[in-house]
Structure 1
Amino acid sequence: MDIHDHNRRAWDRAAAAGERWSAPVSPEVIAAARRGDWAIRLTPDRDVPREWFGDLAGARVLGLASGGGQQCPVLAAAGARVVSFDASEGQLARDREVAEREGLELELVRGDMADLGVFEDGGFDLVWHPVSNVFAPDVLPVWRECQRVLRPGGRLLAGFMSPAYYLFDFERAMATGECVAIHPAPYSDLHSLDAAAREKLVAAGELLEYGHSLEDQIGGQLRAGFRLEAFFDDHWSGGPEALDALMPTSHATLARKPEAAT
């Protein structure tokens, strides 16, 4: 099964439906960003500290799997030169919609987050990668590609789901408020569900997810050559309340590619 193509089509449908992550920001948000008043998120509920970004004026930024008309347009309005790279043409269309409406310069490229071969080595100052690698079977190539396309000293801002989130029976938590762990880690919709549940998801065209280990999420960044500089936990007010009350369900990291040796 081609997971990339399946999830691409699922995101196209989500974009057409105007789901939370596919709802373009308002003109007021862009106007505020142009004045220097802006905030965006790697994870569901918590704004990323502004100091994580460094100086965005003229910075070349790669929005990696972050289409939807929300974050990349804000970064462009804040003064960055932004490339929005996403698997979904529908998500890129939301970015295009805001860029055309607001007169923003925004380059749009469709592709797989694990293969950034269309970009040269060291061409970006910052990679912005909000929660999205849950839709990739293997996260390690994503970190390696981020490291390759960043200049020495460049920043990787990434968000990802906690692997513990996927231990629990999601439907039961939503319906009854009970948090019952039923899945071993690391989780995968393709391998952790029984055949009937898996076939139901695939037939419905639902997004297929992977609960990558912290060894792959954080250790993978370190093995790719990054230095971790900052970290925070976040909750998800739109998810199961019982799980959100139990623990943080997502995390964010600031990592940097080391400066070139002199």
Structure 2
Amino acid sequence: MVDSPSLPLADDGYPAAGGVARRPAGAEESVRANRRWWDAAAPAYLTEHGADLGDVDFLWCPEGLREADAHLLGEVAGRRVLEIGCGSAPCARWLRRQGADVVALDLSAGMLARAAELNRSTGIDLPLVQADAGALPFTDASLDLACSAFGGLPFVADVGAALREVARVLRPGGRFVASVNHPMRWPFPDSPDPEDLRIVSSYFDRTPYVETDAAGRTVYVEHHRTVGDWVRAVVGAGLVLEDLVEPEWTPGRTQNWGQWSPARGALVPGTLVLVCRR
């Protein structure tokens, strides 16, 4: 993919948002904006969350659910696995350490650059691929497993197309597990404070959340789906939905992560995990 000009950063190191809107945003706009945003945001994001994510660990969600405890992917040793939206690729390295044959994919060159550094520092070598979740560069029925831990799916305009791509590259019986923002988070303010659990928008409003820079260019897009939307997208892609997991907050975990917090996590779900098979 062609590199884009870097975005101006705010004091916290994240791309500065000149404006926020709820309006339609298609596939091309979403891909272009989110690639630039994550390229620019990678250093600040990993400074803030890198210690929690780890270098070789599989964290499904801010609630603290880890694959070492959940075993949502089943047996991974000897399996051909794709991680979609890998970021700095700690999940993929964890899978490689468990004996899987892993490929890590992300839209962001900035994130993949950090993933390459961590491959070298950990001594765990795995292939890194820059690509869009809606156009996976793999042949039909070539993978045993696919996974995505808050990677890719919340940011794609056409989630049905992305899930059809997953179904296409999985072998019959192959497993796909993905964690996404719980749809119940959408109507509430983006705050970790349980006092802010008040409805400020409609759960049924699927209009994307869009940030623009000072020049009015789109720099970030996130797409909302209801629980029913996710179920229909999974089934419509030819996958079988085996489970919907809503992780509870891990006892003793104290980390806030954006609007996720122990106090708020005790009251409402923050993550939805889709467990599917081809």
TM-score for both structures, normalised by structure 2: 0.75
Give yes or no for the alignment of 1:211 onto 2:224.
yes
User: Relative to total residues, which structure has the larger helix share, 1 or 2?
Assistant: 1
CA deviation after TM superposition for structure 1 residue 16, in Å = 2.2
Change (3 A) 1:239 1:201: farther
Q: How many correspondences in the alignment?
A: 236
SS of residue in 2 equivalent to 1:177: helix
Change (3 A) 1:181 1:101: same
Paired letter, 2:175? R
Identical positions, percent: 29
Change (3 A) 1:87 1:25: same
1:139-158 equivalences under 5 Å are 139-158=159-178
2:149 to 130, 154, 158: 130
Greater mean deviation of Cα atoms: 142-151 or 232-241: 232-241
Change (3 A) 1:247 1:204: farther
Change (3 A) 1:54 1:214: same
Equivalent residues of 2:37, 2:220 under 8 A apart:
yes
Paired letter, 1:249? G
Can you give the 5+ residue segments of structure 2 that lack an aligned partner in the other structure? 1-24, 250-255
Equivalent residues of 1:84, 1:107 under 8 A apart:
yes
Runs in 1 of length 4+ with deviation above 6 angstroms? none
CA deviation after TM superposition for structure 1 residue 115, in Å = 1.1
2:265 to 221, 244, 253: 244
TM-score for both structures, normalised by structure 1: 0.79
Give yes or no for the alignment of 1:7 onto 2:34.
yes
RMSD: 2.7
Q: Distance in 2 between matches of 1:65 and 1:9?
A: 14
Can you give the 5+ residue segments of structure 1 that lack an aligned partner in the other structure? 31-38, 191-197, 258-262
CA deviation after TM superposition for structure 1 residue 216, in Å = 2.7
SS of residue in 2 equivalent to 1:152: strand
SS of residue in 1 equivalent to 2:176: strand
Give yes or no for the alignment of 1:159 onto 2:159.
no
Equivalent residues of 1:44, 1:235 under 8 A apart:
no
1:50-89 equivalences under 5 Å are 50-89=70-109
1:180 to 181, 195, 198: 198
Q: Distance in 1 between matches of 2:192 and 2:119?
A: 37
